[in-house]
Amino acid sequence: MHGESELAAQVIFGWDPLWVSSILFVATYVLIISEKVNRAIVAGMGAGLMVVLGVLNQETAISGIDFNTLGLLTGMMVIVAITRGSGIFQYVAVWSAKKVNASPWGILFMLSLVTALFSALLDNVTTVLLIAPVTLLISHELKIDPYPFLFAEIFASNIGGTATLIGDPPNIMIGSAVGLSFNQFIINLAPIIPLIFAVTLGIIYLVWGRSMHAAADARERIMRFKEKDAITDVRLLKQSMFVLTLVISGFVLAHPLRLEPATIAMFGAALLLLLSNFKNDAEEQSEEVNKTFAGVEWITIFFFIGLFIAVKGIEEAGVLRILADIVINFTDGDLTVTALTILWVSAIASAVVDNIPFVATMIPVIKSMAPTFGGAEYLMPLWWSLALGACLGGNGSLVGASANLIVAGFAERAGHRIRFLTFMLMAFPMMLLSIGIASFYVYFRYL
Amino acid sequence: MNVEQVLISTRVAKAGMTVRELFDECDRANTPGLPFCDVSGRIIGRVTLKNVLKHGCLPDYVVETAHILGEQFSNLQDIQAEVELLLNNTVDQYKQEPHLSITPTSSAVKALAMMEREDTSYIFVVDEGRYKGTVTIHHLASMLARCGDPLT
């Protein structure tokens, strides 16, 4: 880390790097929250100014970028972009609806379960992007309000995503920064997820599920849906399932294989690109690869790059050390109080602002607490608290997670507007309840 | 061959034109859309069948689930009912940005190249700001098939 005096000499006009970096970072944060300018542009400007104004030199700025997070995100996005073309997600959604004889509550339960499972293994946005249209179609056929279904799926996507390393970007960031494996996430976070999922669905049942009814002829129409029609490319389906299985197995065996998750994901992406383009000529391959890469959320990737550099700026300037000291003073250096504070603050913050910049900021803050708690190995409860808070907190409001907004967008365009306050009145207390359950879990398991 | 020889004269859409009139005109002229002009006749946008149908009666979720829509799909009846209402709407709300345009003396090759470049199947023909007609890939192919002339 640079000394402050060294930094002060580098910052233009000899300005105090602490103030320059803080002002830049707060301005970046405010602009991200305002959503007036695209978040990739804001993060890019914040990062650029950190370097141009001399808070960071170029080498330090680059060293702040977590390429493992970027590689894992990009690799999984490529795999999902190809896999979704096979129609497997919609196949499973329709199949699961028919498995419960098209009973409305059964469908709600099954679609929520499917959403949670897919969200644990893929990204939440893709999952809801594929499940929400089927949900709207089914609820329209059943002539019942789609809101409870969509509400349950929003919760299921964020709850399911909490369970694994690859389920939600905050987990990817935490896993990469701390060196936590796929298995460690499964062992430490997955055990509490079924309980939170069950409690959530229990409440939804009490509020809406008991009064859900559909006419026999409407249910019969659902039973006549042909899920096989959803499969548009059987060969691609087989290839995708093969690579997905390989990648998930790779994550599980990453430690003995001595491979980083990003390497596994990127290799899986390359393999699936190869298999899916095997019979194409050079021109067709270029076209297909271009199409696949267009499915990668580059805005998110560049947002991460900018954010990593911006966070590096305040870290080098000593801002995060001060922030960590404030937290330690507030919690009196007590691990239990610190863990629960991180859990609750990250949940509430993630309900109202994007959890990615929040987690990016918190990672170095928590890392710098290591000496207070006797070393990095004693920080584990704090990491699990951050992961649980940041992921589950996304359920607190419509803007809490990107997946929530995707569902709301689909609903609105189908003539079923989900109002911000209506959603939050029900969702925020339910999110707090899930954090309450997570608090007991963290306390009894780690503290 | 220049585009003047293959252009199709059509009406233009103006504020207050109904969707039914748009459909009728596109059907008559066999074009996918019409230029949208202001009172002075200047082209300020376009309205297309695709855009009107997409936003007027085809929710996103139906598009996303197109493969699994069954024959007994009750939404189809609802969408048919929506089309009835849609026909009486004005086209104003479906106006998009102005489309590609080309001058009447331009060659058919240029028209084809521009359509290919922009991945579209039609182009408006405009002379000194005044709309003259539309050239579609369908009309070009039809003309070629009949006369067998090279595209020059």
For residue A219, give both structure tokens: 């249910």
Q: Determine if residue A14 is left, alpha or beta; phi over 0 gives left, psi from -120 to 50 gives alpha, anything else beta.
A: left
Cα separation, A146 vs A158, in Å, equals 19
Taking the Cβ of residue A224 and every Cβ of chain B, the question of whether any pair is shorter than 8 Å is answered with yes
Nearest by CB to residue A225, choosing from B60, B68, B75, is: B68
What is the pLDDT at residue B64? 84
For residue B20, give both structure tokens: 């039914």
Residues A346 and A387: beta-carbon distance below 8 Å: no
Cα separation, A264 vs A112, in Å, equals 28
Cα separation, A23 vs A11, in Å, equals 13
Residue A3 has pLDDT above 80, yes or no: no
Q: Are strands B101-102 and B122-127 parallel, antiparallel or unpaired?
A: parallel
Cα separation, A344 vs B133, in Å, equals 64
Cα separation, A378 vs A161, in Å, equals 25
Residue B150 has pLDDT above 70, yes or no: no
ipTM score assigned to the predicted complex: 0.71
Within 8 A of A132 by CB-CB distance, chain B residues are 61
What is the pLDDT at residue A23? 95
What is the pLDDT at residue A302? 94
Q: How far is CA B115 from the centre of its chain?
A: 13
End-to-end CA gap in chain B: 5
Q: Compute the mean pLDDT over every residue in chain A, rounded to the nearest whole number.
A: 91
What is the pLDDT at residue B73? 64
For residue A12, give both structure tokens: 């233009």
Q: A97 to chain B nearest CA, in Å?
A: 13
φ, ψ of residue B95 to 5 degrees: the values are: -65, 135
Bridge partners of residue B125, in order along the sequence: B102, B133
Q: How far is CA A358 from the centre of its chain?
A: 12
What is the pLDDT at residue B146? 74
Q: Residues of chain A with pLDDT > 90: what percent? A: 68
Sheet with strand B122-127: strands edge to edge = B101-102, B122-127, B130-136
Instruction: Look at A107-111, A363-367, B38-42 and tell me which has the smallest mean pLDDT.
Output: B38-42
Cα separation, A156 vs A400, in Å, equals 14
Residue in the block written with tokens 């709600």: A108
Instruction: Look at A173-182, A314-323, A380-389 and tell me which has the smallest mean pLDDT.
Output: A314-323
What is the pLDDT at residue A279? 86
Mean pLDDT to the nearest integer, B52-69: 83
The closest of A330, A332, A342, A360 to A443, measured between CA atoms, is: A342
The interface residues of chain A toward chain B in range 295-314, judged by CB-CB distance below 8 A, are none
Task: Read off the pLDDT band of A227 (50, 70, 90).
Answer: confident
What is the pLDDT at residue B45? 93
Cα separation, A116 vs A127, in Å, equals 9
Residues A64 and A312: beta-carbon distance below 8 Å: yes
For residue A123, give both structure tokens: 């990204």
Within 8 A of A414 by CB-CB distance, chain B residues are 59-61
B70 with A226: Cβ contact below 8 A: yes
Output b/e per residue, B73-87; b: 16+ Cβ within 10 A. Answer: bebeeebeeeeeebb
Mean pLDDT to the nearest integer, A145-163: 96
DSSP state letter for A167: S
Sequence-distant (6+) residues with CB within 8 A of A342 are A327, A362, A366, A382, A385, A386, A389
Sequence-distant (6+) residues with CB within 8 A of A210 are none
Residues A369 and A327: beta-carbon distance below 8 Å: yes
Within 8 A of A134 by CB-CB distance, chain B residues are 61, 64-65, 68
- Name the CA radius of gyration of chain A, rounded: 23
Residues A32 and A357: beta-carbon distance below 8 Å: yes
What is the pLDDT at residue A1? 47
Whole-number Cα distances in Å, B53 to A140, B13, B32, B86 = 20, 16, 12, 9
Instruction: Look at A159-163, A173-177, A363-367, B71-75 and tell me which has the smallest mean pLDDT.
Output: B71-75
- Give which of A92, A225, A412 to mutate to test B binding, by max B Cβ within 10 Å: A225
Instruction: Look at A142-156, A175-189, A346-360 and tell me which has the smallest mean pLDDT.
Output: A346-360
Cα separation, A193 vs A199, in Å, equals 10
Quick: pLDDT tens for A238-263.
Answer: 999 999 999 999 999 988 888 999 99
Bridge partners of residue B126, in order along the sequence: B131
Quick: pLDDT tens for A90-136.
Answer: 899 999 999 999 999 999 999 999 999 999 998 888 889 889 999 99
Output b/e per residue, A194-220; b: 16+ Cβ within 10 A. Answer: eebbebbbebbbeebbeebebeeebbe
The closest of A209, A161, A234, A206 to A400, measured between CA atoms, is: A161
Strand (E) or helix (H) holding A199: helix A193-207
What is the pLDDT at residue B25? 96
Cα separation, A130 vs A128, in Å, equals 5
* Domains, chain B, ordered by start: 3-57+89-147 (3.10.580.10)
Taking the Cβ of residue A149 and every Cβ of chain B, the question of whether any pair is shorter than 8 Å is answered with no
Q: Determine if residue A258 is left, alpha or beta; phi over 0 gives left, psi from -120 to 50 gives alpha, anything else beta.
A: left
φ, ψ of residue B34 to 5 degrees: the values are: -130, 150
For residue A293, count other CB atoms closer than 10 A to its CB. 14
Within 8 A of A140 by CB-CB distance, chain B residues are 74-75, 78
Residues A54 and A11: beta-carbon distance below 8 Å: yes
Mean pLDDT to the nearest integer, B61-72: 78
Give the predicted TM-score (pTM) of the model. Answer: 0.84
Residues A358 and A310: beta-carbon distance below 8 Å: no
The closest of A421, A422, A419, A402 to A411, measured between CA atoms, is: A419
Residue A159 has pLDDT above 70, yes or no: yes
Q: Residues of chain A with pLDDT > 70: what percent? A: 98
What is the pLDDT at residue A287? 93
Residue in the block written with tokens 């100014």: A49
What is the pLDDT at residue B74? 65
Residue A426 has pLDDT above 70, yes or no: yes
Cα separation, A349 vs A330, in Å, equals 18
Mean pLDDT to the nearest integer, A215-229: 88
- Give which of B61, B78, B86 to mutate to test A binding, by max A Cβ within 10 Å: B61
What is the pLDDT at residue A144? 92
Cα separation, B128 vs A177, in Å, equals 62
A137 with B67: Cβ contact below 8 A: no
Taking the Cβ of residue B9 and every Cβ of chain A, the question of whether any pair is shorter than 8 Å is answered with no
Whole-number Cα distances in Å, A291 to A130, A141, A376, B8 = 18, 33, 43, 35
For residue A19, count other CB atoms closer than 10 A to its CB. 12
DSSP state letter for B90: B
A75 vs A35, which has greater pLDDT? Answer: A75
The closest of A145, A142, A158 to A200, measured between CA atoms, is: A158
Residue A350 has pLDDT above 50, yes or no: yes
What is the pLDDT at residue A4? 52
